[in-house]
Amino acid sequence: MIGLNHKQKEAVGLLQIGTFLEYFDLMLYVHMAVLLNELFFPKTDPHTAALLSAFAFCSTFVLRPFGALLFGYIGDNIGRKTTVILTTMMMSTSCIIMANLPTYAQIGITATWIVTLCRIIQGLSSMGEIIGAEIYVTEIVKPPAQYPAVSFVILAASIGSTVALGVSSLVTTNGLNWRIAFWIGAGIAVVGSVARTRLRETPEFLEAKKKRKLKEVQGFRDDIADEALDFGKNKKSQIKTHMAYIFIQCGWPMTFYFGYLYFNQILKGSYGYSAEDIIFHNFLLSIIVLFSDITLTFLSYRIEPLKILKVKGLIFLGYVLAFPFLIILSSCPAHVFIIQAILLAIPLAAMPADAIFIRYFPVLKRFKTASFIYAFSRAIMHVITSFGVIYLTEGLGHWGVWIIMIPVTLAFLWSTRHFQQLNNLKPKPAD
């Protein structure tokens, strides 16, 4: 990592390890859901089964905004370090429970409720994890090295997801017990918790807390961090910036759903894929995502991140317009794989500009604001895609995806332009 000193490299490395472990655990169930939903949910007709699958998927994300408020308070008042350690411990606990949980056939609906609760806990913990790690790196590294440094943390999440799929595929295709994958996840999450105890609190956070205490002693009630930005006193500008960040964060959950989950029923119904086949298919797709993230990380060394986002958004919009045509014309699993791979290779996501967005929130409100927006946008988009697509495609076929994909892509492009305009203003966000 060019431009980082020894302490910065150590911190980024520890956060990468923790994020990798956290997302390995989180994505285990998401990608094994095609198999595990059959074990933990009652058997029903195809329509009800689709709704139950959507419910199981969304349960990981719908309560994330509450987790954002909780971990936002901890992160902004107690510290970034405490938050990232706590979330890793929560993830390991939920993995241990799921590894030992009896199936629906053994204990009935109790299994359904317990696995759903574990998924909620995992969603809450991953919420504090990824934003906490991004904020931590943003606060200890200055631009331009800041952009790839934060992207390396996000890259670790992609690696964790890819390895989770690899382990899932290995376990299922070789007839091994699926619980083995969750025991592996629980073990490595414990390792991540221990590793992160070596982190130190960020100087920027400590300095902001010191200034706030000083102002409180002097009788001021306003938050010193609110003075960080020139537009901080303009309520209308703040709301616009918050909305832009929400639209930016809506991009990836939509890409994820249409890149991975949307095609599961097509592969099962049209081409006879088994759960094991789909898991391996998605593992190959995750390698595409990983290479895309690696490319974006290294491009951010040379190219301004917001320019990268603008180009990605424009290419994505063109592909969205062709998306239903390509699905209708596909005639074999290879065609489906190519359609998915292209979509995931040009993801509508904040990477590699995450650090730029984070800098536009006051230090002592940064964790709560960034994490809540991140959680809220994902909760909304996962509900819209998981449930909305079921009804849109029933009436409109594959053309129904346009009703979701086109507005989200246009909003992403508008938001990128908004942040480009902010970035051209003087003064820039204060560190």
Model confidence band, residue 228 (pLDDT cutoffs 50, 70, 90): very low
Determine the pLDDT at residue 24. 79
Model confidence band, residue 195 (pLDDT cutoffs 50, 70, 90): low
The pLDDT of residue 305 is above 90 = yes
The pLDDT of residue 219 is above 60 = no
Q: Of 117-121, 188-192, 194-198, 248-252, where does the model show the most confidence?
A: 248-252
Determine the pLDDT at residue 239. 85
Q: Tell me what the mean pLDDT of segment 380-387 comes to.
A: 84
Computed over every residue of the chain, the mean pLDDT equals 81
Determine the pLDDT at residue 46. 65
> Residue 45: helix, strand or coil by DSSP?
coil
346 CB burial (10 A radius; 0-12, 13-18, 19+): middle
> Residue 346: helix, strand or coil by DSSP?
coil
Determine the pLDDT at residue 143. 83
Residue with more model confidence, 19 or 199: 19
The pLDDT of residue 430 is above 50 = no
Domain boundaries, the chain: 6-423
Q: Give the CA count within 13 Å in the CB-facing half-sphere of 43.
A: 2
Q: Of 116-130, 272-286, 308-322, where does the model show the most confidence?
A: 308-322
Q: Of 132-136, 338-342, 422-426, where does the model show the most confidence?
A: 338-342
DSSP string computed for 209-230: HHHHHHHHHTT--S-GGGGGST
Nearest Cα to 115, choosing from 135, 95, 144? Answer: 95
Determine the pLDDT at residue 221. 47
What percent of the chain shows pLDDT beyond 70?
A: 84
Question: Rounded to an integer, what distance in angstroms lies between the CA atom of residue 328 and that of residue 431?
Answer: 51
Cα–Cα distances in angstroms (integers) from residue 407 to residues 81, 221, 386, 401, 403, in the given order? 37, 41, 17, 11, 7
**What's the pLDDT tens digit per position in 71-125?**
778 878 787 777 777 777 787 788 788 888 888 888 888 888 888 788 778 777 7
What CATH number belongs to 6-423?
1.20.1250.20
Q: Tell me what the mean pLDDT of segment 174-186 comes to.
A: 76
**What's the pLDDT tens digit per position in 253-262?**
899 989 988 8
Match 């056939």 to its residue by tokens.
105
DSSP string computed for 85-121: HHHHHHHHHHHHHHHH---HHHHTHHHHHHHHHHHHH
Question: Rounded to an integer, what distance in angstroms lies between the CA atom of residue 30 and that of residue 58?
Answer: 10
What is the C-alpha end-to-end distance of the chain, expressed in Å? 21
Determine the pLDDT at residue 227. 41
Determine the pLDDT at residue 153. 86
Residue with more model confidence, 4 or 295: 295
Determine the pLDDT at residue 234. 60
Determine the pLDDT at residue 185. 72
The token pair at 146 is 């800041």
The pLDDT of residue 278 is above 90 = no
Question: Rounded to an integer, what distance in angstroms lies between the CA atom of residue 61 and that of residue 249?
Answer: 13
**What's the pLDDT tens digit per position in 158-168?**
898 888 888 87
Q: Tell me what the mean pLDDT of segment 341-370 comes to.
A: 90
Determine the pLDDT at residue 48. 65
Question: Rounded to an integer, what distance in angstroms lies between the CA atom of residue 217 and that of residue 402?
Answer: 55
C-beta separation of 130 from 375 below 8 A: no
Question: Rounded to an integer, what distance in angstroms lies between the CA atom of residue 410 and that of residue 407?
Answer: 5
**What's the pLDDT tens digit per position in 38-60?**
777 777 666 666 666 666 666 66
The pLDDT of residue 351 is above 80 = yes
Q: Tell me what the mean pLDDT of segment 15-37 comes to.
A: 74
Q: Which of 70-74, 225-229, 359-363 has the lowest average pLDDT?
A: 225-229
